[in-house]
Amino acid sequence: MTGRRMLVVGAHSADFVWRAAGAVAAHTAAGGEALVLALSYGERGESGELWKDPNQTIENVKRIRHAEAEQAAAAVGAKFESFDLGDYPLRVGDEQVERLASLLRTFAPQVVLTHPDRDPFNPDHPAAHAAVALARQLSAGAGVASGFATAPPSEFLAFEPHQPELCGFVPTVFVDITAVMPAKREAMAAMSAQGYLREYYDQRADHRGNHARRVSGNAAIRQAEAFQRLIPNVVGAL
Amino acid sequence: MTGRRMLVVGAHSADFVWRAAGAVAAHTAAGGEALVLALSYGERGESGELWKDPNQTIENVKRIRHAEAEQAAAAVGAKFESFDLGDYPLRVGDEQVERLASLLRTFAPQVVLTHPDRDPFNPDHPAAHAAVALARQLSAGAGVASGFATAPPSEFLAFEPHQPELCGFVPTVFVDITAVMPAKREAMAAMSAQGYLREYYDQRADHRGNHARRVSGNAAIRQAEAFQRLIPNVVGAL
Amino acid sequence: MTGRRMLVVGAHSADFVWRAAGAVAAHTAAGGEALVLALSYGERGESGELWKDPNQTIENVKRIRHAEAEQAAAAVGAKFESFDLGDYPLRVGDEQVERLASLLRTFAPQVVLTHPDRDPFNPDHPAAHAAVALARQLSAGAGVASGFATAPPSEFLAFEPHQPELCGFVPTVFVDITAVMPAKREAMAAMSAQGYLREYYDQRADHRGNHARRVSGNAAIRQAEAFQRLIPNVVGAL
Amino acid sequence: MTGRRMLVVGAHSADFVWRAAGAVAAHTAAGGEALVLALSYGERGESGELWKDPNQTIENVKRIRHAEAEQAAAAVGAKFESFDLGDYPLRVGDEQVERLASLLRTFAPQVVLTHPDRDPFNPDHPAAHAAVALARQLSAGAGVASGFATAPPSEFLAFEPHQPELCGFVPTVFVDITAVMPAKREAMAAMSAQGYLREYYDQRADHRGNHARRVSGNAAIRQAEAFQRLIPNVVGAL
Amino acid sequence: MTGRRMLVVGAHSADFVWRAAGAVAAHTAAGGEALVLALSYGERGESGELWKDPNQTIENVKRIRHAEAEQAAAAVGAKFESFDLGDYPLRVGDEQVERLASLLRTFAPQVVLTHPDRDPFNPDHPAAHAAVALARQLSAGAGVASGFATAPPSEFLAFEPHQPELCGFVPTVFVDITAVMPAKREAMAAMSAQGYLREYYDQRADHRGNHARRVSGNAAIRQAEAFQRLIPNVVGAL
Amino acid sequence: MTGRRMLVVGAHSADFVWRAAGAVAAHTAAGGEALVLALSYGERGESGELWKDPNQTIENVKRIRHAEAEQAAAAVGAKFESFDLGDYPLRVGDEQVERLASLLRTFAPQVVLTHPDRDPFNPDHPAAHAAVALARQLSAGAGVASGFATAPPSEFLAFEPHQPELCGFVPTVFVDITAVMPAKREAMAAMSAQGYLREYYDQRADHRGNHARRVSGNAAIRQAEAFQRLIPNVVGAL
């Protein structure tokens, strides 16, 4: 994995923790580099706990959310950045798509993870998906010689949403995160504002571990994360 | 790949050549072992050229088809077997499914390739798929402790059918067969009775190479084969 | 249409009347030949009216159903045959599939109509579909030279089921039956045992006429029937 | 619910416990009647724990499995029956389908629950689904007057499979089982041979409770089960 | 139903009449409250009859359409409002989405009905769907504590489009409107500009009644309307 | 075909050549009229060859692309126009949609061809599809009398994308282009900047010819193009 770069884009600063922190940790543990980008801080939709403080300010909420995400990212060996575009609704304009495309050209990741394209429970998730999909295409070019700088195409996967079946999510790859589960737990622990999700995703990792064990026959797997490849990957042999 | 076993099951003795000979060759070139199983010889539906000889007999057609398939398999480093169940229509009874399950327990492949589950142009292909899917499940058990001997579950993929979109085939993995294309060509050359397919699948390998190049950005790929994973695979990192 | 042959296969003797009598009439009105094949008489599942007679016998029900279907077929210019395989459940064995394939080789239709492959309300309809699809493939061969006599492949369409959306039916072609609607009405009138369906399918023809008008902008269309092509058709120009 | 009858059909004697025991308990707690039918005892595929005893016999395994299922059914207020057709593979012949149709006519349930029609991990589940779907249609008739005794059509739902997305399962209704969760736990406790599934489905009930809470905004829901309606239901008002 | 609030949102002022007036009437007849919101008056796309008057003005068309919709709504016991956003094309800007979200917070409906998300025959229908889906999410929050006022999530259903199969519409619930059919007829009669649709939807209610009868076995149902649930509903028992 | 008008809309000036030039040629050869509209010149994404000249300018690239497309269109008997909206990304604003709708009203084509609605490899293709679909609806009206000038609805088809399965493309009609293949080759030859695609689409025409031969049994077909109807067509007989 040395020299392999992974980019994880979430609509909100905490999204990557629940659904992909294990894959990030496995990637960095194997020598890869990982960057987490949050399009917003989820300061309106997902920070209700913080707003219980009557003196709370939007800037303070963002500051706290930034610190938490940075700490969670560090726990799995990744860097964290935010575009701070606002949430509920998240709206990613043309300029921001270009900014994201530019980041893709610069960072040139081999793997890109983001939300699925559909989520009946959160409008920001599909908005994030659309922005990433478009920026990824713009940075990669049309597959023929183009009149602008391009980055190589990357593997493109969706991480698991909260209610998978209702988002049209069908797993196509399970990542064994048994060895890095402590790191994922540490990342989840950094998310104080959404603390109750810790138990949910801790159990979910066990369930996906059960599925991965069933699929592979590998009894050593205890925890896993599920992903759906959005375009085929290319291999040298099966 | 050393120690890794691949089983390719076709409805007819020539099926594996056009759609999966490259993946077989890549597998064996990397040190893996491969077994090709034909459920029938395609002696009725695909051997019209041979039947032009007015003195032709069914036994002779099968003998020729066996020899050709054996030669093609050898060209890509694989062994060849046939259940000789008859074609057009191929009917795989309960006993034959159990025989196939038994072979799966014995050979214990890590990878199984067969037809997709739908094909509006050939009734034998879905029949083969159904038999393999069932036998694979019977040999693997239910994922809980069972009262009979089981083999570990295997990766399960469909190879490309002749009219992919109409069979519901969507590629999820491209295998780069650039290095082994000469072996695939040799395997195709062994199939004298369906000679005109050689050019078709030679060009098709180029087209899938173009697609794989586009997907990966790897300009060194010239030929590829397309496969669809039927169940998720499990990996240590993305 | 002169010289063009259409085969309509229904699970029960009345099926063709409600869903395809208009297309049959348009076909024969244009000089084509049409054959209606009923796999059963629907003597158990759809003839409850007749069974109200306490002295009713199975043979008599079949005789009445045969006469009605023959009359309905005649009204739209078609011949009627039945395999008389029994209904509820209809079971089409290997031998009967071969008999159907044989009929396809002999009659050599350019167009074949039958039920869609799914119907949560009638188990005989999917059974009929499966038998026709298989027989059609067996009679057509694999598209390569084969060792047995074949008929040319035919256009293959599903006619409209009673609850279309729940059968996965999506119209791909509307047939304008305005000019032959009187013939369809006459065919429907012949079906005394299921008389109440007459009004339903009379109105349905109006509704599909409304849809066809909307799709084509042709204000002269009053009635239409909906069909779903199951394989592509080939044309000389769009 | 008084006078309302529910039939739950599983391929194996333990299936109903994990996926539907809560809905059964809610049904009987509200005054309904429930019957659990197991097509087999899962004596080969799911009873590996019992087979560790070197003196174990098939009859003894079935006896134990019967007792466990009866106890589990009792815990949620239901009766238990088995057709004892054998598992791995479960094969439901024409005669057994008719026996099931006969049971449907006699018991005349308003609600029928069974497996989804697809499961890449267990061939017995789709076999059970197909048998129930067919028997249900045969017992209900074609919706027109028929020549045999029929039962009224029933609501028809699939319960949740072990890997939902890979079985094409999409929840359309969540049943709040908060009040009856102790009964479900008691039912699960009766299944000693598959004890490790208890924790899995205990957590799963929490997760579906989380989903149901999210969907309804009803904060009092702690546990739920997910079901997919296979045909529409009819209501007096939304 | 007392205290239960239903919101019906149509792209044009007449949409609710044809597809949902029966469900509205059943809802209010049972003691519920209903509000119909039209995003536009359909003054360009659906008012051609009115434009035949050479002295017609846009304001007058809107006035007539408003009066008709108000009268139709009254006939089924509902109130009527319009956002008057213009049609063909309907464009719902960010501000209007927020206005709709605000209405959802204030009215706090338990049930929301609107168009399906796809309609190849009318671009305004998907635009309305998208606006309602987004506003509904924004008003409900993300299911975790959020930093703004939210309304409880509502049941969310699509009403039947004009060509259901081509809009991807699959009914999941039939509402029995037999008792309130006179009220629906009265509502339809108020729509003078699209008078010819009256007969169409009168017959359609009979057809859906036939389907609902078939699904439920309830012979008392004469008319019904079809709806598709877009997210699961939560029940106490099946 | 005399008097029949076809409109082909591509995101970039070369798109029509590879995927639809044969159908255009067959159309004009039969006496029809054809207009090709390019929304952009593909001057950024698909003209890399031209940009290798260090003195190249954007205006010169467009000039060259225009001349090539005009020559290619002429080779198949069509006229060529461009909206010159810019590519990578192509963005079609409200005004441009109205301009396109206006062109549809004026040219009043009976057949409209464009890209499918999905393409994971090129963001401009779905943007073009959406603009054409919307403009076509706006120009056709809602199927009821409307308050503005409308054109009759047209047949609407998608041409084949570069990686069909990954774009959700399923052929529903093959056009036999055997007789006009020389004209398509001439059109392809005019596209100097993407010369390498000539061989690809030359072979692809052979493959689709093979498919069309298989589907129709017409051995005279050598080359074909594949299209997917997006709405049903209306015929007088099957």
What average pLDDT score do residues A34-56 get? 92
Choose among F225, F220, F217, F219: nearest CA to C154: F217
Asked if the C-beta of B44 comes within 8 angstroms of chain C's C-beta atoms, the answer is yes
Q: Which residues of chain E have pLDDT under 50?
A: none
B205: confidence class by pLDDT, cuts 50, 70, 90: very high
Query: For all residues of chain B together, what is the average pLDDT?
Result: 94
Within a 10 A sphere around the Cβ of A203, how many other Cβ atoms?
18
Note whether F30 contacts C: Cβ–Cβ < 8 A: yes
Average pLDDT (A112-141) is: 96
Listed by number, the residues of chain D in 157-196 with a beta carbon closer than 8 Å to a beta carbon of chain C are: none
Where does residue C98 rank: exposed (0-12), middle (13-18), buried (19+ CB within 10 A)? middle
Chain E CB within 8 Å of residue D58 CB: no
**Minimal-distance CA residue of chain C relative to F143:** C214
Q: Is it the case that chain B and chain A have 3 or more CB pairs lying under 8 Å apart?
A: yes
- Contact present, A32 and A2 (Cβ < 8 Å): yes
Q: Which chains touch F (3 or more CB pairs under 8 A)?
A: A, B, C, E
- Residue F46's pLDDT is 86
Q: What is the mean pLDDT of chain C?
A: 94
Who has greater pLDDT, C3 or D127?
Answer: D127
| Band of pLDDT at residue C142, cut at 50, 70 and 90 | low
Position A143 pLDDT exceeds 70: no
Task: State the ipTM, two decimals.
Answer: 0.93
Pick from B42, B46, B122: CB nearest C137:
B122
pLDDT for residue A195: 72
The predicted structure's pLDDT at residue E134: 97
For residue D199, pLDDT beyond 80: yes
pLDDT digits (tens, 9 = 90+) for C156-171: 999 999 999 999 999 9
Chain C residue with CA closest to E215: the answer is C121
Question: F186-204 pLDDT, tens per residue?
Answer: 999 999 867 789 999 999 9
What three-state secondary structure class fits C206?
Answer: helix
Least trusted range by pLDDT, from A186-200, C101-115, F56-70? A186-200
Amino acid identity at E153: P
Measure in Å the smallest separation between the Cα of A114 and chain F Cα atoms.
Answer: 15
Q: CB F123 to CB A144 under 8 A?
A: no
| Interface contact flag, B216 A234, Cβ < 8 Å | yes
Among B17-26, B133-142, B145-154, F188-197, the range with the most confident prediction by mean pLDDT is B17-26
Task: Report the residue of chain D nearest A172, measured CA to CA.
Answer: D166
Confidence at F143, pLDDT banded by 50, 70, 90: low
pLDDT over 80 (residue F104): yes
| Interface membership of F134 toward E (CB under 8 Å) | yes
| D143 has a pLDDT exceeding 80 | no
User: Which of the other chains make 3 or more beta carbon contacts under 8 angstroms with chain C?
Assistant: B, D, E, F
Range C139-143 average pLDDT: 76
Cross-chain residue pair F238–C143, CB shorter than 8 Å? no
Q: What pLDDT does residue B140 have?
A: 87
Average pLDDT over residues C4-9: 98
pLDDT score of C14 = 96
Choice among C169-183, C191-205, D119-133, E108-122 with the minimum mean pLDDT: C191-205
Cβ pairs C/D, distance under 8 A: 58
Q: Is B174 in contact with A235 (Cβ distance < 8 A)?
A: yes
Look at residue D1 and tell me whether its pLDDT is greater than 80: no
Percent of chain C scoring above 70 in pLDDT: 97
pLDDT at D47: 86
Ranges A29-33, A191-195, C204-208, C231-235: which has the least confidence:
A191-195
% residues pLDDT > 70 (chain B): 97
The whole-number pLDDT of residue E142 equals: 65
Are residues F51 and A145, on separate chains, in Cβ contact within 8 Å? Answer: yes
Q: Looking at the complex, does the CB of residue A231 fall below 8 Å from at least one CB of chain B?
A: yes
- Strands of chain F (E only): list them: 5-10, 33-38, 79-82, 111-114, 155-159, 173-176, 224-229, 233-235
E45 Cβ neighbours under 8 A, 6+ residues apart? E12, E87, E88, E122, E124, F141, F142, F144, F146, F147
D167, closest residue in chain A (CA to CA): A170
Query: CA angle at residue A23 from A20 to A28, to 5 degrees?
Result: 125
Interchain proximity D214–A162, CB inside 8 Å? yes
Which chain E residue lies closest to F98 (C-alpha atoms)? E89
What does the radius of gyration of chain C's CA atoms come to, in whole angstroms? 17
pLDDT at E2: 79
pLDDT digits (tens, 9 = 90+) for B161-188: 999 999 999 999 999 999 999 999 999 9
Residue with tokens 């038994």: B102
For chain C, the distance separating the N- and C-terminal CA atoms, rounded to the nearest angstrom, is: 19
**Per-residue pLDDT at A230 exceeds 90:** yes
C-alpha torsion sign, points A159, A164, A165, A166: negative
Distance CA E60, CA E58 (A): 5
The answer to whether the CB of D98 falls within 8 A of the CB of D136 is no
pLDDT value of position D148:
72
Domains by residue range for chain A, with CATH: 5-229 (3.40.50.10320)
CA of B208 vs chain F CAs: smallest distance (Å): 9
Check CB contact under 8 Å for B164 and F164.
yes
How do residues D155-186 score in pLDDT, each as one tens digit?
999 999 999 999 999 999 999 999 999 999 99
Tens digits of residue pLDDT in A87-104 = 999 999 999 999 999 999
Separation CA A176–CA A220 (nearest Å) = 9
Q: State percent of chain F over pLDDT 90.
A: 86
d(CA B12, CA A147): 48
Do F147 and E120 make contact, defined as CB atoms within 8 angstroms?
no
- Per-residue pLDDT, B148: 72
Q: Is the pLDDT of residue A207 over 80?
A: yes
Range B203-224 average pLDDT: 96
Please judge whether C133 and B120 are an interchain contact, meaning their C-beta atoms are less than 8 angstroms apart: yes
Lowest-pLDDT choice from B139-153, C36-50, D21-35: B139-153
Give all strands (DSSP E) within C39-165, no chain letters.
Answer: 79-82, 111-114, 155-159
pLDDT at C96 over 70: yes
